[in-house]
Amino acid sequence: MNFIANFLFLIIDIKVFNCLIIQEYVSCREALMKTELDGSYSIKPRINGQAANVVCSRINSTHGIAMLSNSGEIEKVFSDTYEEEFYIDKIAYGNYSDDDIREFKKGMSKCTQRILYKNKGADLTWQRLLFYDKTFFSSLNDGQHGICKCFVRTVCDINGNPQLNCTMTGENGGSEQTEEGEFSVIEDSLPLIEIHTADVGHYSETIHYTLEKLKCIFKFMTFDLFITKNTSCLNTDELMELKDENSTTCISIPIEHMIQLYSNKEAELGEILTKLPFLCNSYIEIFIQKENGMKIICSIFDNCKFKCPPTQSINFRLFKKMEICEILLE
Mean pLDDT calculated for residue range 122-139 = 80
Q: How far apart are CA 17 and CA 23, in angstroms?
A: 15
| The pLDDT value given to residue 144 | 55
Lowest mean pLDDT among 48-57, 74-83, 299-308, 320-329: 74-83
| The pLDDT value given to residue 85 | 62
Burial annotation 250-286 (CB, 10 A radius, 16+ → b, else e): bbebeeebebebebebebeebebebeeebebeeebbb
Pick from 115-124, 245-254, 255-264, 314-323 the range whose average pLDDT is largest: 314-323
Lowest mean pLDDT among 50-64, 78-92, 218-232: 218-232
| Average pLDDT score, the chain | 80
| The pLDDT value given to residue 243 | 75
Whether the CA torsion 282, 285, 286, 288 is positive or negative: it is positive
Question: Does residue 175 or residue 210 have the better pLDDT?
Answer: 210
| The pLDDT value given to residue 11 | 44
> Is residue 234's pLDDT more than 70?
no
| The pLDDT value given to residue 8 | 43
Pick from 40-49, 52-61, 126-135 the range whose average pLDDT is largest: 40-49
Give me the residue spans of the domains in the chain. Answer: 76-90+111-210, 223-329
3-state secondary structure labels for all residues of the chain: CHHHHHHHHHHHHHHHHHCCCCCEECCHHHHHHHHCCCEEEEECCCCCCCCEEEEEEECCCCEEEEEECCCCCCCEEEECEEEEEEEEEECCCCCCCHHHHHHHHCCEEEEECEEEEEEECCCHHHCEEEECCCCEEECCCCCCCCCCCCCECHHHHHHCCCCCCCCCCCEHHHCEEEEEEEECCCHHHCCEEEEEEEEECCCCCEEEEEECCEEEEEECCCEEEEECCCCCCCCHHHHHHHHCCCCCCCEEECCCCEEEEEEEEEEEEEEEEECCCCCHHHHEEEEEECCCCCEEECEEECCCEEEEEEEEEEEEEECCCEEEEEEEEC
> Is residue 167's pLDDT more than 80?
no
| The pLDDT value given to residue 207 | 87
Q: How confident is the model at residue 307 (pLDDT cuts 50, 70, 90)?
A: very high
Mean pLDDT calculated for residue range 261-279 = 83
Q: How far apart are CA 130 and CA 143, in angstroms?
A: 13
The C-alpha R_g of the chain, in whole angstroms, comes to: 27
Report the relative pairing of strands 176-182 and 214-219 from DSSP bridges.
Answer: unpaired
> Is residue 104's pLDDT more than 60?
yes
| The pLDDT value given to residue 145 | 59
Question: Please, which residues have CB within 8 angstroms of residue 209's CB and are 6 or more apart in sequence?
Answer: 72, 75, 76, 115, 116, 117, 118, 195
| The pLDDT value given to residue 146 | 60
Q: How confident is the model at residue 10 (pLDDT cuts 50, 70, 90)?
A: very low
Do you find a cis peptide bond into 254, omega within 30 degrees of 0? no
| The pLDDT value given to residue 69 | 94
Q: Is the pTM for the entire model greater than 0.85?
A: no
| The pLDDT value given to residue 291 | 84
The hierarchical CATH code for the domain 223-329 is 2.60.120.260
Bridge partner residues of 311 (DSSP): 267
Burial annotation 66-81 (CB, 10 A radius, 16+ → b, else e): bbbbbebeeeeebbee
Percent above pLDDT 70 for the chain = 78
> Is residue 218's pLDDT more than 80?
yes
Judge whether 186 and 294 are in contact, CB under 8 Å: no
Identify which of 122, 131, 134, 128 has the alpha carbon closest to the alpha carbon of residue 170: 122
> Is residue 157's pLDDT more than 70?
yes
Q: How confident is the model at residue 297 (pLDDT cuts 50, 70, 90)?
A: very high
| The pLDDT value given to residue 56 | 95
